[in-house]
Amino acid sequence: MADPYDLDNFDYSAFDFPNQLWYIIPEWQIAVKISTFIPLLIFGILGNFMLLNVIIRNRALQTPTHLLLANMALADFFVLTICPVLYMYKDFYQNFLLGTIGCKMEGYLQAIVLPTETRLTMFGTKMVMACTWIAGFTIAVPLAVYRTYKERAWKNFLETFCMENTTILPSYWLVLFATLVWFPLCVMIICYTAIFWKQ
């Protein structure tokens, strides 16, 4: 006999979908949401593109500081081109439309790590930039591995969604939050306190 609490193997096909079916949000909501994103995307993408273009074309600006700035502009460019599209797909449609690969890549593509700025040589700057991107992709691996694309066949609706592993990913989010938020915040508080104390 099947376990009635095993939701992965439960047969939903005898039941109607319990929520209201809407498939896609109304056109006016789509228009409002897209119109709020468009100015941000235009100014953000143009601003980052212009900054990258100036630094790439002007050899005098290819200093460690400017290269780190260009690296952050490139990261911001990716955030501006990837995150809003993924957000809109998830927000506009009732079902998850990106499939199995989209489910794995969605969280992975949104992970960006920004570099810290210190006195570096040109070689050191390039190493920091490479390590930053490698660290960002590495930190995001669990979001690709521990997410699953699911389908539920209800009597009146084929539900599709992307689900995180509820056993492993809560611990991952806790470690990530502590590493990327609490630890840097504590370091900043200590540094600012030391600076203030010296004044």
Cα dihedral value 115, 120, 122, 128, nearest 10? -30
Q: 123-158 pLDDT, tens per residue?
A: 777 787 788 788 878 888 888 888 888 888 888 888
pLDDT (0 to 100) of residue 34? 92
How much is the pLDDT for 2? Answer: 56
Question: Whole-model pTM?
Answer: 0.56
Which pLDDT score is estimated for 27?
Answer: 93
Structural domain includes residue 33: yes
Q: What is the end-to-end Cα distance of the chain in Å, rounded?
A: 73
Let me know if residue 62 belongs to a domain.
Answer: yes
Q: Is the pLDDT of residue 28 over 90?
A: yes
Alpha helices in 58-168 (DSSP H): 64-92, 99-109, 122-139, 141-145
Helix (H, G, I), strand (E, B) or coil at 108: helix
Residue 33 is part of a domain; what is its CATH number?
Answer: 1.20.1070.10
Letter for the amino acid at 47? G
pLDDT in tens, 53-105: 888 898 888 887 788 788 888 888 888 888 888 888 888 998 888 888 888 77
Query: Does 188 fall in a domain?
Result: no
In a domain, 79, yes or no: yes
Total structural domains in the chain?
A: 1
The answer to whether position 176 is within a domain reads no
The CA distance from 25 to 91, in Å, is 8
User: Which whole number is the average pLDDT over 23-43?
Assistant: 90
What is the domain extent for residue 61? Answer: 27-165
